[in-house]
Amino acid sequence: MNCKICKSKIQKIFDAKIMNKYKIDFYCQNCGFLQTEEPYWLDEAYKDPITVTDTGYMQRNIYLSKITTILLLIFFDYKKKFLDYAGGYGVFVRLMRDIGFDFYWSDKYTQNLFAMGFEYNDSIKNDIEAITCFDAFEHFVNPLDEIKKMLSISKNIIFITELLPQSIPKPEDWWYYGLEHGQHISFYSKKHLTL
């Protein structure tokens, strides 16, 4: 098995039980990327796309809408179109539209409940100033493919993910593995993101 980022041979670091039923292996390479084995459990993991353990969903979206507003006003042409990639239920898009930004929604696992009518489609592909992608990189089965897809839409990606600590934590020592829901399958380090 090879690293999904640098393509070199990977080694097993540990195994862990996810969703209280599947024992899976986690692999690492010197580029700083940690990945699970091929995630055969994802259909089951996304039966409820926003997990019951995500109790900060609304608060996080409100906070991110404030931070993103500042970023867009300072660094981007705020009058253009924007895309929230892997946008969950559409809460962030709704908040950004209510502030006055022309935001659109996209998510292959989740139903758009709050930004209906503002789904992304290829007809606006060349008009996207920037993509937001919050707490989604850890869900990517093939991160490079997803990043290439985003870059084909816009050269600007604003994203957030939790970085691996410098010493890879054991499964029981890091909440971000998300073992209870099984949706987190790709983990990035500062070293990896600066390559």
Same domain, 132 and 105: yes
**For the chain, what is the domain count?**
2
Paired tokens of 151: 């870059």
- Give start and end residues of each alpha helix (H) in 7-56: 42-45
Region 80-104 average pLDDT: 97
Q: What is the pTM of this model?
A: 0.92
Other residues' Cβ atoms within 10 Å of the Cβ of residue 165: 12
Domain that holds residue 129: 57-160
Which residue do the tokens 């990035």 mark? 188
For residue range 112-145, list pLDDT tens digits in order: 999 999 999 988 988 999 999 999 999 999 999 9
In a domain, 28, yes or no: yes
**61 and 151 belong to one structural domain:** yes
pLDDT in tens, 173-185: 999 999 999 999 9
For the chain, what percent of residues have pLDDT higher than 90? 83
- Residue whose C-alpha is closest to residue 181's, from 13, 46, 14: 46
- Is the separation of the CB atoms in 120 and 112 below 8 Å? no
pLDDT in tens, 45-70: 998 877 777 778 899 999 999 999 99
Whether 155 and 168 map to the same domain: the answer is no
